[in-house]
Amino acid sequence: TQLLEQSPQFLSIQEGENLTVYCNSSSVFSSLQWYRQEPGEGPVLLVTVVTGGEVKKLKRLTFQFGDARKDSSLHITAAQPGDTGLYLCAGVFGNQFYFGTGTSLTVIP
Partner 1 sequence: DAGITQSPRYKITETGRQVTLMCHQTWSHSYMFWYRQDLGHGLRLIYYSAAADITDKGEVPDGYVVSRSKTENFPLTLESATRSQTSVYFCASSDLGVGLETQYFGPGTRLLVL
Q: Which of 1, 10, 14, 30 lies at the binding interface for partner 1 (CB under 8 A)?
A: 30
Q: Which of 28, 50, 68, 78 lies at the binding interface for partner 1 (CB under 8 A)?
A: 50
Whichever of 23 and 76 has its CB closer to partner 1, that residue is 23
> CB-based burial of residue 39 (10 Å sphere; 0-12 exposed, 13-18 middle, 19+ buried)?
exposed
* Residues in contact with 48: Cβ distance below 8 Å, sequence separation at least 6, in sequence order: 31, 32, 33
Contact residues for partner 1, defined by CB under 8 A: 2, 4, 6, 30-31, 33, 40-45, 48, 50, 88, 90-92, 96-102
